[in-house]
Chain A
Amino acid sequence: QSALTQPPSASGSPGQSVTISCTGTSGDVGGYNYVSWYQQHPGNAPKLLIYEVTKRPSGVPDRFSGSKSGNTASLTVSGLQAEDEADYFCSSYAGSNNLIFGGGTKLTVL
């Protein structure tokens, strides 16, 4: 199974909103509501931001939101802050106990 497609980079100024896309197929993103998003600062462990497309674990600010349309899922970061500068990657269930991931997007806060 091919990896999910994410843009390699995204950027925004403090206070702005940025949306990162994650495109798959009807066999993964489009077929299941099991899309997750992770944030990873360099040298740190990945952190779960969003699960089941739209749900946030406790402790994750509501500035982070997820959505899905067809075969594309999106992560929106509102009210950008300097500490949001990090790598973001998505994952989706793809059936048969298989999880696939996106290649990651480097978010730069200008």
Chain B
Amino acid sequence: VQLVESGGGLVQPGGSLRLSCSVSGFSITTYNMKWVRQAPGKAPEWLAFSGTDGTTTWYADSVKGRFSIARDNAKNSLFLQMNSLRAEDTAVYYCARFSYASKSMDVWGQGTTVTVSS
């Protein structure tokens, strides 16, 4: 079971990035998934949720309207489209397998770093 994030990097304020999470060892069709980020020196923060039905999505208020979560079942992958990026979006971004029953993330990726700076 492995999650591998990619797509992070340096982007200017107002710019966009698309993060990917490649999943192996299980099918994302049977699991809920989340994106979580951790800014330097701060607590982690959940950003987005994607349900097993492929259509249910929830977002934290801090990213609602700017970020969009999606999944490609054929590629067994999860994505996070990030628009209108701000300096405060600078963080390590993780994808994680989420258990709705226990409200916990039982598998995490190693993260990809996003830096928003001019």
Whether A associates with B in a native complex is yes
Chain A residues engaging chain B, CB cutoff 8 angstroms: 3-4, 32, 34, 36, 38, 43-48, 51-52, 55, 57, 89, 91, 93, 97-104
CA–CA, A91 to B3, complex, Å?
Answer: 20
Which chain B positions have C-beta within 8 A of A100? Answer: 43
A36 contacts B104, C-beta separation under 8 Å: yes
B67 an interface residue at 8 Å Cβ cutoff?
no
Interface of B is mostly: strand
B94 an interface residue at 8 Å Cβ cutoff?
yes
A89 contacts B49, C-beta separation under 8 Å: no
CA–CA, A48 to B102, complex, Å?
Answer: 12
**What are the 3 tightest A-B residue pairs by CB atom distance, in nearest-first order?**
A3-B43, A34-B103, A51-B104
Number of residues on chain B facing chain A (CB within 8 A) = 22
CA–CA, A97 to B102, complex, Å?
Answer: 12
Which chain B positions have C-beta within 8 A of A4? Answer: 43
CA–CA, A2 to B14, complex, Å?
Answer: 26
B43 contacts A46, C-beta separation under 8 Å: no
Which residues of B63-109 are within 8 A (CB) of A? 94, 96, 99, 102-109
CA–CA, A90 to B94, complex, Å?
Answer: 16
A73 smallest CB distance to B (angstroms): 13
